[in-house]
Amino acid sequence: MCNRLHAAANLIAHSESTGNPALICSLSLYNTLFEGLPEKGFYFHHPQSVRKSKLRCPLSFIRSGSFPPGEIHFSVPAVVKAENAALMLFVGWRFRDDDALKTYSSVVRRIFTPVESCRSNITKVLSGLRSRCDRVVGVHIRRRDYKDFNGGIWYFDDTFYRSVMQIAVSQFPGRTGFVIASDEPVDLNEFSEFDVESAVGDPVGDLYSLAASDMIMGPPSTYSSWASFYGDIPLCHVTRETLGRGVLDFN
């Protein structure tokens, strides 16, 4: 889901910056979850200022799989050339326009605001922590696919997460609370030494519970990256080296 959200966000921002309308076909599974998406069908983004039409190459086709691994920026010559076409087809999720996303972040956030029922559930989860704590740290636990992905380098047990949570408690003054968003059930008794709550319990509710925190920590993932973007809050991607440093670097 978050791979699609990141791609859509960058394409929407790029649409605003260039004046090119964008038809995004990858979001229909999530139409009922976000305020700015249609009730059904594909999402058509009409920028505030539309590019003036002129004679152009009729069609260009850009597939992310034809590029080396990593993000594909709109400054790449092949993508720049594609912009000269009247109709551009993009396939893949790695296209990025960082400058445009910064400029038009409010437009993107408005579109991908979760529906009211989701927001209400998040408020219920976080209200207690907010009343008791000086800050709330979102903890993203991802284990199902990470057990094998990339050799399991980002697969961590509860002991690891307790250790990085303890670093957070030691690193910041006052009382720190935690909201845990996990892709599998979590026994909060394993974290009884902390002031902790479970997130809403569904993918979008958990995602935006993280976004409603003051900062987020978790393994490298587009899931936590999206929460950090939407909430406009610092993110620390934790690895095994984090324990050796004993410091959480939030950016």
Q: In this structure, are 190 and 224 located in the same domain?
A: yes
Beta bridge partners of 85: 57
User: Containing H/E element for 230?
Assistant: helix 222-231
Per residue in 40-73, pLDDT (tens digit) is 999 999 999 887 767 678 999 999 999 999 999 9
How far apart are alpha carbons 106 and 16 in whole angstroms? 12
Is the CA virtual torsion 94, 97, 101, 102 positive or negative? positive
Per residue in 100-139, pLDDT (tens digit) is 999 999 999 999 999 999 999 999 999 999 999 999 999 9
For 84, the domain range is 2-111
How far apart are alpha carbons 166 and 72 in whole angstroms? 37
Count of residues in the chain: 251
pTM over the 0.85 mark: yes
Q: In this structure, are 97 and 148 located in the same domain?
A: no
Return the CA Rg of the chain.
20
Q: In this structure, are 224 and 107 located in the same domain?
A: no
As for how many domains the chain has, the answer is 2
